[in-house]
């Protein structure tokens, strides 16, 4: 869905997105604009990053679930 959305192409068009990323799970593949968790983190800092981003990702997913439930009548 990410590749079909064209959002990464839009990111590359505008200077304001340089140096910015969206967080995605490894299934999306890491790139210039997609940041993924460290696989098998080898340092405490990497493990902490993964843990913190996992909590943020979980909160976002719950929020998206809520939107899906609240707007299910549109289908």
Q: How far is 6 from 72, CA to CA, in rounded Å?
A: 24
Examine the pLDDT at 75 and tell me if it is beyond 80.
no
pLDDT digits (tens, 9 = 90+) for 27-64: 888 889 999 999 999 999 999 999 999 998 888 888 88
Tokens 């983190």, residue? 41
Give the burial string for 44-63 (b: 16+ CB within 10 Å, else e): eeeeeebeebeeeeeeeeee
Rg (CA), the chain: 15
**Residues shown for the chain:** 75
Domain range summary for the chain, segments of one domain joined by +: 1-36, 39-75
Contact between residue 46 and residue 35 where contact means Cβ atoms under 8 Å apart: no
């Amino acid at each position: 869905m990410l590749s079909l959305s064209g959002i990464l192409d839009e990111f590359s068009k505008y200077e304001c997105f340089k140096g910015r990323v969206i967080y995605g799970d490894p299934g999306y593949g890491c790139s210039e604009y997609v940041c993924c968790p460290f696989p098998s983190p080898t340092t405490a800092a990497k493990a902490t990053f993964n843990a913190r981003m996992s909590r943020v990702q979980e909160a976002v997913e719950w929020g998206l679930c809520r939107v899906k439930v609240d707007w299910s009548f549109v289908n």
